Structure 1
Amino acid sequence: MPHLRPTILSRYLLQGQLSARGCLNSRYRGYAIIAARTSRASAPTPGHARVRALHTETTSPAPTDPDAPVPGHVPLRKQLKDEAKRQKATGKKKRKNANNQVVDGWELTVGIEIHAQLNTAKKLFSGASTSFNDDPNTHVAYFDLATPGSQPIFQNETLIPGLRAALALECNIQQVSTFDRKHYFHWDQPSGYQITQYYEPFARDGRILLQPRDGIAAEDGGEGLSVGIKQVQMEQDTAKTLAQPGDVHWIDFNRVGVPLIEIITLPEIHHPATAAALVRKVQILLNAVDACVSGMEAGGLRADVNVSVRRTDDPAAPLGQCTEIKNLSSFKAVEDAIIAERDRQIAVLEAGGTIAGETRGWSIGSTETRRLRAKEGEVDYRYMPDPDLAPIVIGDDLVHHLRDTMGELPDVEVDGLMKDFGLTAKDALSLIALDGGMRIEYFWNVIDALTARLGPDALENQLCFQLAANWILHELGRLTSERSDDAAHDLGFTVEGQCERVPVDHLADILLYLHQHRITAKIAKELLWVVFRGRIPDQYPTVSDAIEQEGLWFHELSDVEYAELADAAVEGQDDVVKQFVNYRQYPQGKLMFLVGRMIRLGQEERIDPKNAERIMRAALEEKYVPAMAKQ
């Protein structure tokens, strides 16, 4: 065997490759078709299937109907809606997840393996470009198809996002790592083995901190917990299989060889909600350091969970036999599948049975896991060092450079949002997590625009910034259809923090005028719709021009005019006023009833509800309630 020289990665050797994105299209187009001869009860194998590669220029050739559309990724929201409709049609009620984190007398233990697609331009071992939502089989190199004579060529830049992910997970970067072959046979793996890092991964011994605000189970305490990361390893992705009617499967090899990292946790999780919170936190971390292409909703991150149970009456007892649930594609699926498998194992053990080590599956809307196959072990996979790939040597200078340029991690940013802008933990987390990090970038740009308009008054700025966060979280979401599965696309968010449908400057103008009480909240929301529909600048050059031309500036009533309205609203409402007598704190519902009468009796476009409430409260306290108390 020829001597393989190690691949040495340093900051300087990768200069210019840290963010470069190349493109190499192959001549392979169309789907590969696998028609299984076996029944659905038995898994098809290469001996029971015929494989036909279609080298055609059509974009979506279907084996039975040439006009059939190409099946694509079904958005998670649509899956959940469809499942809800099926449950409703069958009369089944959705099972509640309340108070199901523990089962008396039993301890649950969970370990998680997370597979994330890295944000790279090239595949792991070929120059073919990574492809998402492109025509099938248009980004495939000879090595991706395991063509005889082809060799893997490690693409140095694919390691960079993996290193960023490992650093975000507080891992120790290994100076030398190697690649191994994991053997298994399936149509989605053309070579009959997957190249991974089993013996010497590039990162080990990390840790992820979970806090109560991350959504962990209450049983894990108010201080949160830390979960160990055993290792992070690089590996290839497999082909994408799309099931068709009649035991036919379409195979898209674009995904073969796409770089993945596998994040393996220690079995230190004991509650289903905490497991889901960990996967969510990992997704946020990977996105924050630009390591992961897309999240669970888009299929860019998948989780396998290992579940075992044991009785709590013997703390020294070993962990129970674990089962693995494969390819969970949502945070809810992680929690629900763990609950179902925990309950199944407990029922089996309480009935005197034993738990078999096996791989199980889960479908959205299910109440039980299902057996897929016996659990493979190290012997089954026949791990061996890959003879075609040299070791990777990672220079300390590269690691230091990536650590120094990684920026703030989500926990630090959430703490800053809460401290500097008075946001709740929920709002701060939502702002960071939405739209793949693009919405928080948009928020910062809006803050910069408002700061330039407001000046140095810190208190005034904070109140306006809180208003901005509320609008960016909630009001922008109301612009798109509730049935939308991709608000980021509908609104036109960009990675630079801009929004095509609601530009930063337009939203900053609306928020500034609203904050300064120069327009009402109702007018502000109408202006937001005007911007969203493109009427600025098509019809009006600026937001202020639209307000001026339509006469929308807020000319508020004077206190005298408010007082006159308060008198008119209270007139004839003695029964209501009586309910304020002897109250230390006025009944808010009745108070707002009277304020509502004020607004209806006056000019709504000139009334600020908060000031109307203030004047009504003063009128009741100073005039009407004392008079009623004397009667």
Structure 2
Amino acid sequence: MSRIPTRHLGRYLLQGQLPRKGCLASSNYTPRGSCRVAASCSCSRCLQPFSPQATRAVHVSTSSAASPADTPIIPLRKKLKDEAKQLKKESRKNKAQKGSAQTVDGWELTVGIEIHAQLNTSRKLFSPAATSFNDEPNSHVALFDLSIPGSQPLFQPQTLIPALRAALALNCDIQPVSRFDRKHYFWWDQPSGYQITQYYEPLARNGSITLLARDGIAPEDGDSVTVGIQQIQLEQDTAKTLAQPGDARWLDFNRVGVPLIEIITRPEIHHPRTAAVLVRKIQLLLNAVDACVSGMETGGLRADVNVSVRRTGDTATGRLGTRTEVKNLSTIKAVEDAIIAERDRQIAQIEAGGSVVGETRGWTLGSKQTRRLRGKEGEVDYRYMPDPDLGPLLISEDLVRHIKESVAHLPDRELDELVDRYGVSAKDAVSLMALDNGARIEYFYNVVGGLGKRLREAEGRTPQQPLDLELDPDLKKYAPLAANWILHEFGRLVTDRSSPQDDETAFEITPEGQCARVPVASLSELLFHLHQKKITGKVAKELLLALYHGNVGEAGGVTAAIDAHDLWFHELSEEEYGALVESALEGEDRVLKEFGGNKKTYPQGKLMYLVGKMLRLGPTERIDPVNAEKAMRSRIEELCGTSA
């Protein structure tokens, strides 16, 4: 194939023009059955429109094509700019649609949620086998787990404690007597052909959980919404299915019999985002009371959502629409997305003249619609019956009272303390508590403690003034700085890895709040220098990256690294700031006029423009933007006689 000349490529890319050399329309070649005449030919064969079914070729008249001179030439820069504008417009449209996805005009959504959470226990529910999630498959299996004939269930009392802690954290009434039932269904992950659960007389009833605006609920729900908990029941988990090539399935029976609690909410949720927030808050609460330490990201918590819709005019009847169940949602985002998809599917079905059928449906991450799995089973299908091998579960009042005292410090109270005492924003406080199964917040407390100690020593305060971190009057001045770095700067470390090998050495935070990659003492030392304005933010970020990659030696730590590379912040003097201000004001008479007169609003934007000019003209590594703004503002007041 011959090389295409650059000029031809340029005409094609920039003007959409193709060279006519070699084109059939300009050659002397005449296809069989066509008419070879001049461009002005008007015979029936040339005027007949093209038909894909025709067996003859159709001659293309060169006179029908627009000449290059008639085609407007659009510069490539303008094309790219127009495409960028269009993408930005579509992005705004998508954001607007996402924001309004919480409601559909003329329709009411109702959602109930069933959450299955693995309890934090060392034994299975009805066998002495150890609970295991990372050991060799089928290495912790008792005879009863495999339903070997003659084996009997033996309730393990230690599994009751985390279940009670979870129920009390959700404000439930503990039932003094509860019983176990058999729920029959046949699937390869259930060896016995039934699941032992609590259906008729569960462990706890009539609870509630309150979601606040700071939790991230839908704006349509206002400042808060309370969702009722219908019941909490104990039940056993199934085996883990491992898909293999060739449509094969392997079973790991380590998980079968692992104790679960099923939390069933009342159908009182009306917005998808609020449903997702509820699942996230329950996960956070279960982790806080040490009832469930394995979250959705590791498969320790799964959610099923029951979705129904009805027209707003039908709300007076009190009857809900036919519900469908979307099973096994494994992420918080999947909860919201699956509800939106199923709601829209049901509405479209009804508006098309059809009806919603009660069924069980599935959801795939990244999908735009749910898929049918099977028809919806009812009580009759499951053939619930009391388990004849297990007696009633009796719970005394003194046990309930003792456990209730141990779960008094719940996440909402801790979140209030983070906001009110530490000065952390509500959004950052929620993130700190949710990340790393509670380890991130412990790391935060450790870093804040180390930073506060350094600040007190620098100010000459004795340890007795004060010893209690929460009583430190300056706590709000430095705790938000630590929260910002532990959340956002740490997030950049994880997402901006420079090499694939970083996945193997990604830092982990222990439950005690310690991190080998970025030690508490090192981060406290770094933030101390940043808070005291002894180093710039840019230098601090580079030091954090060096800590993460192990490039800061243990001898002397962060301070020694700053000394070795002379990274200290040598700020401009007052005279140097003044000279820099004068340089930035040169030729800016028009801008200075904006500060004169009796204007109702201070031109803050113009001020920041001048400060930005100072940063460009001067040595950035020696300029404090705050002090630069003060110097510029002071000089403008002298020249114009105005103040903000």
1:468 aligns with 2:482: yes
Larger radius of gyration: 2
Cα distance change of structure 1 residues 626 and 448 upon mapping to structure 2, 3 Å threshold? closer
Q: CA deviation at 1:508?
A: 1.2
Q: Are 1:454 and 1:461, in contact at CA under 8 Å, matched by a contact in 2?
A: no
1:464 aligned partner, one-letter code: Y
Q: CA deviation at 1:526?
A: 2.0
Partner of 2:355: 354
Partner of 1:247: 247
1:121 aligns with 2:135: no
Find 1:557's aligned residue among 563, 572, 588. 572
> CA–CA distance in 1 between the matches of 2:630 and 2:278?
46
> CA–CA distance in 2 between the matches of 1:536 and 1:409?
39
> CA–CA distance in 1 between the matches of 2:347 and 2:584?
64
1:221-370 correspondence runs (5 A): 221-222=222-223, 224-314=224-314, 315-370=316-371
1:203-602 correspondence runs (5 A): 203-222=204-223, 224-314=224-314, 315-455=316-456, 456=465, 458-482=472-496, 490-538=506-554, 540-582=555-597, 587-602=603-618
Deviation per residue, 1:148-187 (Å, 9 max, x gap): 2222222211121111111110011112222111111000
> CA–CA distance in 2 between the matches of 1:584 and 1:135?
73
> CA–CA distance in 2 between the matches of 1:126 and 1:230?
28
Q: Are 1:294 and 1:436, in contact at CA under 8 Å, matched by a contact in 2?
A: yes
2:538 aligned partner, one-letter code: K
Q: Please, which moves more after superposition, 413-422 or 240-249?
A: 240-249
Q: CA deviation at 1:600?
A: 4.2
Partner of 1:106: 107
Unpaired runs of 5+ residues, structure 1, are 1-87
Deviation per residue, 1:372-403 (Å, 9 max, x gap): 11111111111112122222222323222222
> CA–CA distance in 2 between the matches of 1:591 and 1:209?
45
Find 2:628's aligned residue among 605, 612, 615. 612
> CA–CA distance in 2 between the matches of 1:547 and 1:354?
70
Q: CA deviation at 1:595?
A: 2.7
Q: CA deviation at 1:438?
A: 0.8
1:475 aligned partner, one-letter code: E
Q: CA deviation at 1:586?
A: 5.2
Q: Please, which moves more after superposition, 308-317 or 209-218?
A: 308-317
1:612 aligned partner, one-letter code: A
Partner of 1:26: none
Deviation per residue, 1:108-136 (Å, 9 max, x gap): 21111000111111211222222223332
Cα distance change of structure 1 residues 600 and 218 upon mapping to structure 2, 3 Å threshold? closer
Q: What RMSD in Å do the two structures reach over aligned CA positions?
A: 2.7
* SS of 2:317 mapped into structure 1: coil
1:478 aligned partner, one-letter code: R
Q: Are 1:110 and 1:270, in contact at CA under 8 Å, matched by a contact in 2?
A: yes
2:153 aligned partner, one-letter code: P
* SS of 1:347 mapped into structure 2: helix
Q: Please, which moves more after superposition, 147-156 or 373-382?
A: 147-156
Q: Are 2:572 and 2:623, in contact at CA under 8 Å, matched by a contact in 1?
A: yes
1:505 aligned partner, one-letter code: A
Q: Are 1:435 and 1:487, in contact at CA under 8 Å, matched by a contact in 2?
A: no
TM-score calculated relative to the size of structure 1: 0.79
Q: CA deviation at 1:262?
A: 0.2
Partner of 1:56: none
Partner of 1:77: none
Higher relative contact order, structure no. (Cα contacts within 8 Å, ≥ 6 residues apart):
1
Q: Are 2:424 and 2:479, in contact at CA under 8 Å, matched by a contact in 1?
A: no
Partner of 2:13: none
Q: CA deviation at 1:208?
A: 0.5
> CA–CA distance in 1 between the matches of 2:407 and 2:174?
15
Cα distance change of structure 1 residues 404 and 119 upon mapping to structure 2, 3 Å threshold? same
Cα distance change of structure 1 residues 482 and 302 upon mapping to structure 2, 3 Å threshold? farther
1:525 aligned partner, one-letter code: K
Cα distance change of structure 1 residues 303 and 558 upon mapping to structure 2, 3 Å threshold? same
Cα distance change of structure 1 residues 596 and 238 upon mapping to structure 2, 3 Å threshold? same
Deviation per residue, 1:421-477 (Å, 9 max, x gap): 222221111111111111111111122222322335945331111111111111122
Cα distance change of structure 1 residues 285 and 360 upon mapping to structure 2, 3 Å threshold? same
Q: CA deviation at 1:578?
A: 4.5
> CA–CA distance in 2 between the matches of 1:464 and 1:406?
30
Q: Please, which moves more after superposition, 591-600 or 189-198?
A: 591-600
> CA–CA distance in 1 between the matches of 2:431 and 2:205?
30
Q: CA deviation at 1:369?
A: 1.8
Cα distance change of structure 1 residues 276 and 354 upon mapping to structure 2, 3 Å threshold? same
Q: Are 1:198 and 1:233, in contact at CA under 8 Å, matched by a contact in 2?
A: yes
> CA–CA distance in 1 between the matches of 2:516 and 2:601?
47
* SS of 1:498 mapped into structure 2: coil
* SS of 2:208 mapped into structure 1: strand
> CA–CA distance in 1 between the matches of 2:503 and 2:281?
21
* SS of 1:490 mapped into structure 2: coil
Q: Are 1:445 and 1:497, in contact at CA under 8 Å, matched by a contact in 2?
A: yes
Deviation per residue, 1:176-201 (Å, 9 max, x gap): 22211111100011111111111221
* SS of 1:227 mapped into structure 2: strand
* SS of 1:97 mapped into structure 2: helix
> CA–CA distance in 2 between the matches of 1:621 and 1:396?
72
> CA–CA distance in 2 between the matches of 1:148 and 1:545?
69
Sequence identity (%): 64
* SS of 1:254 mapped into structure 2: coil
Q: Please, which moves more after superposition, 607-616 or 582-591?
A: 582-591
* SS of 2:278 mapped into structure 1: helix
1:220 aligned partner, one-letter code: D
> CA–CA distance in 1 between the matches of 2:301 and 2:354?
35
Partner of 2:14: none
Q: Are 2:293 and 2:437, in contact at CA under 8 Å, matched by a contact in 1?
A: no
> CA–CA distance in 2 between the matches of 1:159 and 1:278?
24
> CA–CA distance in 2 between the matches of 1:269 and 1:213?
17
Partner of 2:183: 182
1:301 aligned partner, one-letter code: L
Q: Are 1:477 and 1:487, in contact at CA under 8 Å, matched by a contact in 2?
A: no
Partner of 1:152: 153
Unpaired runs of 5+ residues, structure 2, are 1-86, 457-464, 467-471
1:561 aligned partner, one-letter code: E
Cα distance change of structure 1 residues 177 and 256 upon mapping to structure 2, 3 Å threshold? same
Q: Please, which moves more after superposition, 403-412 or 93-102?
A: 93-102
Q: Are 2:360 and 2:373, in contact at CA under 8 Å, matched by a contact in 1?
A: yes
Q: CA deviation at 1:367?
A: 2.2
> CA–CA distance in 2 between the matches of 1:622 and 1:273?
53
Q: CA deviation at 1:94?
A: 7.8
> CA–CA distance in 1 between the matches of 2:452 and 2:188?
57
Cα distance change of structure 1 residues 217 and 155 upon mapping to structure 2, 3 Å threshold? same
